[in-house]
């Protein structure tokens, strides 16, 4: 599966990867012009904290878990802090080559379920490495959990 043609933004089947990759939660934020910043968990925690209640991780085939209370940084807050404008989408990619694309419109007009988060806590405890450490939570996703990206390693901002 991890060959040259493999595109992490078009992930595969939705079998969750049980091999927890190494890391401490830091990830690279790549600007549209290629400049990169390293974002640590402390950097995320320095931005306003957002809480999402009644969240389920729903996966056809292997059931749903939850409800959870996730806490983290709104993805929009992080992106606009570094790139106030001039972008149309962001790509969120994990250490294990899993990823998802998020459109500007989804970030600026979140649904009634709430904003897309970079979550670092669940039920008032820090996310463990196995739970993703820093994990994207897309609260309106109700199918295969393909957007609930664990172990984020790179976020690319696209013009």
Ligand X SMILES: Nc1nc2c(c(=O)[nH]1)N[C@H]1C(S)=C(S)[C@@H](COP(=O)(O)O)O[C@H]1N2
How many residues comprise the chain?
Answer: 159
Distances (CA, A) of 147 to 4, 14, 46, 106, 143: 22, 10, 24, 13, 9
Which of 91/144 has CB closer to ligand X? 144
Instruction: Select from ligand X, Mo ion, none the partner in contact with residue 57, using the beta carbon and a kind-dependent cut-off of 5 to 8 Å.
Output: ligand X
Counting residues that bind Mo ion (by CB under 5 A) gives 4
Residues that bind ligand X (CB under 6 A): 14, 16-17, 57, 59, 65, 94, 96, 98, 144-146, 148-151
Instruction: Select from Mo ion, ligand X, none the partner in contact with residue 68, using the beta carbon and a kind-dependent cut-off of 5 to 8 Å.
Output: none
Q: Is 99 left (phi over 0), alpha (psi -120 to 50) or beta?
A: beta
CB of 64 to Mo ion, least distance (A): 10
Which of 79/92 has CB closer to ligand X? 92
Strand 89-94, strand 99-103: pairing: antiparallel
Residue whose C-beta lies closest to Mo ion: 14
Contacts of 25 (CB under 8 A, 6+ apart): 40, 41, 120, 133, 134
- Applying CB under 5 A, the residues found at the interface with Mo ion are 14, 59, 144-145
């Amino acid at each position: 599966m991890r060959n040259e043609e493999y595109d992490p933004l078009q992930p595969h089947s939705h079998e969750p990867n049980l091999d927890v990759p190494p890391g401490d939660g830091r990830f690279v934020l790549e600007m549209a012009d290629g400049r990169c910043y390293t974002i640590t968990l402390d950097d995320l925690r320095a931005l306003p904290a957002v809480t999402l209640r009644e969240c389920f991780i729903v996966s056809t085939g292997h059931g749903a878990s939850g409800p959870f209370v996730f806490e983290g940084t709104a993805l929009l807050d992080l992106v606009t802090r570094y790139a106030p404008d001039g972008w149309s989408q962001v790509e969120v990619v994990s250490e294990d080559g899993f990823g998802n694309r998020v459109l500007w419109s989804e970030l600026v007009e979140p649904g009634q379920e709430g904003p897309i988060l970079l979550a670092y806590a669940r039920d008032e405890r820090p996310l463990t490495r196995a739970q993703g450490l820093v994990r994207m939570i897309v609260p309106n996703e109700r199918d295969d959990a393909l957007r609930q990206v664990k172990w984020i390693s790179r976020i690319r901002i696209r013009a």
